[in-house]
A = this chain, B = another copy of it.
Amino acid sequence: VNLILLHAAEIGEDGVTELTGARAVHIATVLKPEPGQELRIGRIDGPHGTGTVVQVDEDRVLLRCRFDASAPPRPAVDLLLALPRPKVMRRLWSQITALGVGQVILTNAEQVERDYFGTHWLDAPVYTSLMLEGLQQARDTLLPAVSVHRRLKVLIEDELDALCPEGIRVVAQPGHDGTFFSVLAASPGDRMLVAVGPEGGWTDFELSLLQRHRFHTVGMGTRTLRSDTATIALLTLAHEALR
């Protein structure tokens, strides 16, 4: 944990927060601060700040909180992801949040198995807690917006413009020659939505649907990657292209 994240409701009017549970144990047993020491804190969906240690017990920590005037900027990359199998989705939540995504749009696709949508890794309390791990790792405070869509065609044709009005759109397809850098050179911008398909790629129908809705096609060499490896790699390239 590189940052202690707090909910707004946990902070008293006097600016003092009383932590119990996992965060308190982490502070007491790993960070082991003296009273008066300052810890990096953040308010979820709000600004960074510092927490001055008032008191540390084994499982209870009092911090006096002071926050910056404004929240950090939202990450410049959004992710549209064909839902991978549950085990892979579980691993991805914290890693995509650590890499930085403004928004996560999960969708069905022809190569996605229907029963993947039944997983508890799509329950908001479950994935929120995994995303908080990623934020604490990367020292960010902004939880990505998450939405789950059962019909790709409806999502792309009717919903995406409202969900994601800004930014260059990019779709990754295995074996394609395009690069993030060439797309950005041709269509400059400061936000990017990256669509990552199932392991074997999007079907021809899906790719052409995306291309008709302003998605530029990119590839990443000829090696077939597991969905989580591919997603991490593609988010990295999008961030680097925007850097």
Which residues 198-243 of A sit at the B interface, judged by CB distance below 8 A? 220-226, 229, 232-233, 236-237, 239-240, 243
A222-B181 Cα distance, complex, nearest whole Å:
21
Task: Tell which of A95, A100, A233 has the most Cβ of chain B within 10 Å.
Answer: A233
| Inter-chain contact A221/B233, CB cutoff 8 Å | no
Closest partner residue, chain B, to A140 (CB atom): B223
| Inter-chain contact B139/A226, CB cutoff 8 Å | no
A223-B101 Cα distance, complex, nearest whole Å:
12
The contact string, 1 if C-beta is below 8 Å from chain B, for chain A 36-61, is 00000000000000000000000000
| Inter-chain contact B137/A226, CB cutoff 8 Å | yes
What chain B residues lie within 8 Å of A100 (beta carbons)? Answer: 221, 223
Interface check A71, CB cutoff 8 A: no
What chain B residues lie within 8 Å of A237 (beta carbons)? Answer: 236-237, 240
| Inter-chain contact A138/B224, CB cutoff 8 Å | yes
CB-contact partner of A232 in B94, B232, B239, under 8 A? B232
| Inter-chain contact A98/B223, CB cutoff 8 Å | yes
The contact string, 1 if C-beta is below 8 Å from chain B, for chain A 99-139, is 11000000000000000000000000000000000000111
Interface check A2, CB cutoff 8 A: yes
Closest partner residue, chain B, to A2 (CB atom): B224
What chain B residues lie within 8 Å of A173 (beta carbons)? Answer: none
Nearest CB on B from A34, distance (A): 21
| Inter-chain contact B225/A98, CB cutoff 8 Å | yes
What chain B residues lie within 8 Å of A2 (beta carbons)? Answer: 224
Nearest CB on B from A127, distance (A): 17
Closest partner residue, chain B, to A224 (CB atom): B2
A240 and B220 contact, Cβ closer than 8 Å, known pairs A232-B232, A233-B99, A233-B233: yes
Interface check A141, CB cutoff 8 A: no
CB-contact partner of A229 in B95, B181, B243, under 8 A? B95
The contact string, 1 if C-beta is below 8 Å from chain B, for chain A 177-198, is 0010100000000000000000
Chain A residues in the interface with B (C-beta under 8 A)? 2, 94-95, 98-100, 137-140, 179, 181, 220-226, 229, 232-233, 236-237, 239-240, 243
What would 8 A/B residue contacts be, using CB atoms closer than 8 Å?
A: A98-B224, A140-B223, A179-B240, A220-B236, A221-B239, A229-B232, A232-B233, A240-B240
Nearest 10 CB-CB pairings of A with B:
A138-B223, A233-B236, A232-B232, A95-B229, A236-B236, A2-B224, A98-B225, A138-B224, A237-B240, A98-B229
